[in-house]
Amino acid sequence: MEGSTQPRCDVDDYEIRPSPDKGLGAFAVKEIPSGSLILAESPTIILMQEPLSIRDADIEAALLTLSPFQRDSFHALSAPPTQYESELQRKFLGNSMSPSAIPGSTCLCLRIARFNHSCRPNSEMAWNPFTRTFDLYAIRTIERGEEILWNYVPGSNYMPKSYRQFVQFLNWRFVCNCEFCEGMTAEWRIRNDRTRERMYLLQKSLQGFELSALGLDAIAARGIDVESTWKPGELEAILENLWQPPTELPDELKDMDVREQFHAYNELAAITEAGCIIGKELAMAGICVVNAATRQSGLVENDDEVKLVDEHMAMAMRTIYASRPRSGPDVQAFEGKREDWETLREAIVLVLDYESGIRNTTDHEDMQDENL
């Protein structure tokens, strides 16, 4: 059950090569099984500074500590045309991450910087405090030739497409063309957007999760000059259909008692899975069902409900097992049965605690939290 059972990729199992419309990207050169550790990378540069305080001199000083090869690799990175003044800042901040595991830091990993974004990722990033590395796991089987992608935007599972696109465009100046954004049929995308809005409302009611309103005010707050940043018509197209997070909850989600909350968590887990959203959010949805079921004794007595919770627990275990270090508590040994709910819940929460969350330096929360 320890790390030895976990498939692990060699650097030869994927290659960095051009990706259509995205510069370079990482592609599997052979099938990568779900749960594989694709790579574990120590940050090449760690600056103990918040992104907005980082100046050219800070980056230049850090570059002096690198080998010539690393410096060349850094200079070969793309510099997304964000609001930062210099090319050096755009290059560094457009490719770096702020792990909450290292508070107040901004980190750059030269290899991970080559992996592109998708709203339907096949891999997930986790911080491993034991090895002090960013670990990238396959959260489903990745076919030979498929691009390896992870989700840059935390919380984006609760955002309909227009909101995701606005956040991505504001931060990195790209328009995502993943399966969720441009693939499938138009009807499917409309249904998927409705699912995400419902997920948002459920999360808002159950966990107090909030997204900020976006639009021209958000752009102005960042000091971005619209005229020089967007091509004519480009911004209008994004603003025209921009979804705004509802501020009011529907009546049925207000002031819920523990039974109603249990049902709401079940709905959240079911629609997360039905919406093809895998990874941490799916695991958390499953764990929340078990949390709700065990909050009060006798809350779940009905056999069908017990079975449902068993299923959600088993799903959470499979999911978490695929995307986290396997050196932690042995969650695989449990079968997801009622007598194990409590033990499993504790074990999985511990696994999740290994990772303290990763936030991209330019994520949308900066706009409200850091007074840009």
- Least Å distance between CB 36 and Zn ion? 23
Nearer to Zn ion, 133 or 156 (CB): 156
Ranges within 216-245 binding Zn ion (CB under 5 A): none
Site string for Zn ion, 113-152 (x = CB under 5 A): ------x---------------------------------
- Least Å distance between CB 179 and Zn ion? 8
Nearer to Zn ion, 148 or 178 (CB): 178
Nearer to Zn ion, 181 or 201 (CB): 181
- Least Å distance between CB 194 and Zn ion? 17
Nearer to Zn ion, 277 or 287 (CB): 277
- Least Å distance between CB 350 and Zn ion? 32
Site string for Zn ion, 313-332 (x = CB under 5 A): --------------------
Residues 6 or more apart whose Cβ sits within 8 Å of residue 95: 77, 78, 108, 113
| SS3 assignment for the chain | CCHHHCCECCHHHEEEEEECCCEEEEEECCCECCCCEEEEECCCEEECCCHHHCCHHHHHHHHHCCCHHHHHHHHCCCCCCCCCCCHHHHHHHCCEEEECCCCCCEEECCCHHHCEECCCCCEEEEEECCCCEEEEEECCCECCCCECEECCCCCHHHCCHHHHHHHHHHHHCCCCCCCCCCCCCHHHHHHHHHHHHHHHHHHHHHHCCCCCCCCHHHHHHCCCCHHHHCCCCHHHHHHHCCCCCCCCCCHHHCCCCHHHHHHHHHHHHHHHHHCCCCCHHHHHHHHHHHHHHHCCCCCCCCHHHHHHHHHHHHHHHHHHHHHCCCCCCCHHHCCCCHHHHHHHHHHHHHHHHHCCCEEECCCCHHHHHCCC
Q: Can residue 159 be called a binding residue for Zn ion (CB under 5 A)? A: no
Nearer to Zn ion, 119 or 218 (CB): 119
Residues 6 or more apart whose Cβ sits within 8 Å of residue 69: none
Site string for Zn ion, 78-117 (x = CB under 5 A): ----------------------------------------
- Least Å distance between CB 174 and Zn ion? 10
The residue range among 70-78, 176-184, 212-220, 324-332 that interacts with Zn ion, by the rule CB under 5 A, is 176-184
Q: Can residue 181 be called a binding residue for Zn ion (CB under 5 A)? A: yes
d(CA 73, CA 92): 12
* Token couple for 127: 């911080």
- Least Å distance between CB 192 and Zn ion? 11
Indicate which single residue of 107, 109, 138, 178 sits in contact with Zn ion (rule: CB under 5 A). Answer: 178
Nearer to Zn ion, 14 or 180 (CB): 180
Nearer to Zn ion, 169 or 354 (CB): 169
Size of the site for Zn ion (CB under 5 A): 5
Nearer to Zn ion, 119 or 367 (CB): 119
- Least Å distance between CB 156 and Zn ion? 8
Q: Can residue 176 be called a binding residue for Zn ion (CB under 5 A)? A: yes
Nearer to Zn ion, 181 or 219 (CB): 181
Q: What is the C-alpha end-to-end distance of the chain, expressed in Å?
A: 46
Residue 307 carries which side chain, given as an amino acid letter? K
The residue range among 122-130, 149-157, 181-189, 322-330 that interacts with Zn ion, by the rule CB under 5 A, is 181-189
Using CB under 5 A as the criterion, which residues of the chain lie in contact with Zn ion when the complex forms?
A: 119, 176, 178, 180-181
